[in-house]
């Protein structure tokens, strides 16, 4: 009995010194391999109380035995017996103890079980088990997930010098539930050995809601397992349900207004505007704003189409990637180029849009007084190009055009393109041949073509090869159709002409030459 008490005192002393679960067993008892005491389950209840299941195997039943459970709080010097039962012990004894004084929701706690015979001598001691303490999960706003970190077993004993005992479990599994009843696995790990740092894992992307999280340790060979405390998290990170660019509008040919809107927790985000100078160009940063609305940008409107993108970023944390991005949308870029026909130009425009957005386009021309007039007979081709003849009153001046678009936008707003400009030069063109039977109306008569002005005075005289005058016109709109060149018909050949007119600045000009009347 004295020897047992001495052993027990040494046992208690080791706990006080190490602050962990320490075991000292007499050598003669270590040889009794047929005696075993095992903790088979260690579970933390919702209120932080701990349930310890254990199993004692003896070579034969024992009367007047005792089972005791000891608890040690790591980091403190407190150690003591928390439960005992004096009873006759069968050959296989299984029991369970709930420690109502524990608070395993706040810290890890270590337990071991000791069996005594009727003389008070230790006959078996279980491996020391620490509860798995799952710390408060850390929200990861950038990834819309939770990071879990838990403290694992760090069990030691003493046999003259500190010796680390193997951890009683081989695997650890992080689990998640939405109702606290049915748990599913997040990740599985090999159980670390004593002295290893706390383990971590991260959930997959989560929707807003309440989640229950716990850690499970298992030993498949023995069937032993342990659960950590359960952490309950109401996960409600700020979220954007939608973010869209409503319009991209060129205003007064000076700046671009980009309007955007969003649905969700919009006050928890900052918004960055990005632009690219074309479809295959990289986006560059423009500005950051605190709320959805209208952002003003002043790029070079002559350079081409400007494509814009909006991205939302958490205000409270710096994330490497945007929380949400809107589908890009561009400004309308219009250009005018000379066409192959006389006094004709071709208007071409580019507009990059999401696949589910469509617009109707209208072409406008600026008049001399600055008013914009819709071009008559304009169609909205799928090619986004339109060819038309420059009006006579514009010839000799600059031709200014713009495109306006309206259609299926989140906000019903007419948006404009840049103003495209081309110079309509004044000139006089006298054809050198014509054919009265031509399929082209302009080629059926001979007359000068005035580009950029209309002469105030005009005279055109046609002579045959003998010098006889056969046709006279006093209007620039009245040309010679070949009549008068022969009695009752037209004779093909070479004819002379004399033309006198007032030019664009009012001076008199004359043109002389020959023209071929062809079959």
Q: How far apart are CA 49 and CA 489, in angstroms?
A: 121
Whether residue 318 contacts residue 346, with contact meaning beta carbons closer than 8 Å, is answered with no
Instruction: Domain 427-517: give its CATH code.
Output: 2.60.40.1220
The DSSP letter of residue 222 is T
At which residue do the structure tokens 């007419």 appear? 414
Secondary structure E strands in 45-108: 50-57, 62-72, 79-89, 92-99
Does domain 2-130 sit in CATH 3.30.565.10?
no
**What CATH superfamily is the domain 333-423?**
Immunoglobulins (2.60.40.10)
Q: In the chain, what are the domain boundaries?
A: 2-130, 243-323, 333-423, 427-517
Residue 192 CB-half CA count within 13 A: 13
At which residue do the structure tokens 């219009």 appear? 334
Q: What's the confidence (pLDDT) of residue 409?
A: 57
Considering the four listed CATH numbers 3.40.50, 1.10.3470, 2.60.120, 2.60.40, the one that applies to the domain covering 243-323 is 2.60.40
| Fold matches, 243-323 and 333-423 | yes
Q: How does pLDDT run across 40-99, given as a tens digit for each residue?
A: 888 999 899 999 999 999 999 999 999 999 887 656 656 688 999 999 999 999 999 999
Q: How far apart are CA 420 and CA 386, in angstroms?
A: 14
Q: What's the confidence (pLDDT) of residue 175?
A: 96
The CA-CA-CA angle for residues 340, 343, 348, to 5°, reads 65
* pTM, 2 dp: 0.60
Reduced DSSP (H G I as helix, E B as strand, rest coil) percent helix, strand, coil of the chain, to 5: 5, 50, 45
Q: Would you state the structure tokens that stand for residue 46, as one six-digit string?
A: 């919702």
Q: What's the confidence (pLDDT) of residue 142?
A: 86
At which residue do the structure tokens 């704003």 appear? 289
Helices (H) and strands (E) in the chain, counts: 2, 42
Give the chain's residues under pLDDT 70.
1-33, 73-79, 152-168, 193-195, 340-343, 380-381, 392, 395-396, 408-411, 425-426, 452, 485-489, 504-505
Q: How does pLDDT run across 314-347, given as a tens digit for each residue?
A: 998 888 788 888 889 999 999 988 776 666 788 8
Q: Would you state the structure tokens that stand for residue 130, as one six-digit string?
A: 């620490």
Q: Would you state the structure tokens that stand for residue 320, as one six-digit string?
A: 């490497």
CA distances (Å), 475 to each of 67, 84, 326, 500, 506, in order?
128, 127, 61, 11, 16
Mind spelling out the 3-state secondary structure of 426-487? Answer: CEEECCCEECCCCCCHHHCCECCEEECCCCCCEEEEEECCCCCEEEEECCCCCCECCCCCEC
Q: What's the confidence (pLDDT) of residue 360?
A: 86
The DSSP letter of residue 13 is H
Task: Specify the pairing of strand 255-264 against strand 240-251.
Answer: antiparallel
């Amino acid at each position: 009995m004295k020897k047992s008490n001495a052993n027990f005192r040494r046992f208690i002393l080791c706990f006080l010194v190490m602050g962990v679960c320490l075991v000292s067993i007499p050598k003669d008892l270590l040889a009794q391999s047929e005696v075993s005491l095992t903790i088979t389950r260690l579970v933390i209840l919702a209120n932080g109380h701990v349930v310890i299941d254990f199993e004692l195997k003896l070579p034969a039943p024992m009367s007047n035995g005792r089972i005791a459970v000891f608890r040690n709080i790591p980091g403190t010097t407190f150690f003591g017996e928390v439960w005992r039962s004096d009873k006759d012990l069968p050959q296989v004894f299984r029991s369970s103890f709930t420690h109502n004084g524990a608070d395993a929701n706040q810290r890890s706690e270590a337990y071991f079980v000791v069996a005594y015979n009727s003389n008070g001598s230790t006959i078996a001691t279980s491996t020391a088990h620490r509860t798995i303490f799952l710390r408060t999960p850390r929200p990861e706003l950038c990834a819309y997930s939770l990071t879990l970190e838990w403290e694992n077993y760090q069990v030691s004993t003493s046999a003259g010098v500190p010796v680390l005992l193997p951890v009683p479990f081989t695997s650890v599994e992080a689990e998640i539930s939405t109702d606290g009843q049915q748990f599913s696995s997040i990740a599985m790990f090999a159980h670390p050995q004593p002295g290893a740092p706390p383990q971590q894992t991260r959930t997959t992307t989560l929707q807003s809601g309440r989640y229950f999280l716990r850690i499970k340790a298992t030993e498949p060979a023995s069937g032993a397992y342990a659960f950590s405390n359960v952490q309950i998290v109401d996960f409600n990170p700020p979220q954007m349900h939608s973010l869209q660019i409503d319009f991209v509008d060129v205003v007064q040919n000076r700046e671009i207004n980009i309007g955007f809107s969003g649905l969700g927790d919009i006050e928890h985000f900052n918004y960055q505007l990005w632009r690219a100078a074309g479809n295959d160009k990289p986006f560059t940063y423009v500005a950051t704003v605190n709320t959805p609305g209208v952002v003003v940008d002043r790029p070079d409107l002559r350079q081409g189409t400007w494509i814009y993108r909006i991205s939302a970023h958490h205000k409270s944390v710096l994330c490497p990637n945007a929380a949400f991005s809107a589908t890009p949308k561009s400004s309308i870029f219009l250009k005018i180029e000379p066409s192959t026909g006389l006094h004709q130009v071709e208007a071409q425009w580019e507009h990059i849009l999401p696949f589910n957005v469509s617009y109707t386009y209208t072409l406008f021309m600026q008049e001399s007084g600055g008013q914009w007039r819709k071009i008559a007979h304009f169609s909205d081709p799928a090619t986004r190009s339109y060819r038309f003849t420059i009006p006579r009153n514009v010839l000799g001046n600059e031709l200014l055009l713009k495109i306006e678009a309206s259609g299926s936008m989140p906000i019903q707003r007419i948006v404009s393109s840049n103003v495209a400009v081309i110079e309509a030069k004044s000139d006089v063109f006298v054809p050198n041949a014509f054919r009265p039977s031509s399929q082209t109306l302009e080629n059926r008569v001979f007359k000068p073509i005035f580009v950029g002005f209309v002469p105030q005075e005009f005279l055109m005289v046609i002579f045959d090869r003998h010098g006889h005058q056969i046709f006279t016109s006093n209007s620039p709109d009245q040309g010679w159709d070949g009549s008068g060149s022969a009695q009752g018909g037209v004779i093909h050949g070479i004819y002379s002409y004399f033309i006198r007119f007032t030019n664009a600045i009012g001076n008199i000009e004359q043109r002389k030459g020959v023209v071929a009347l062809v079959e």
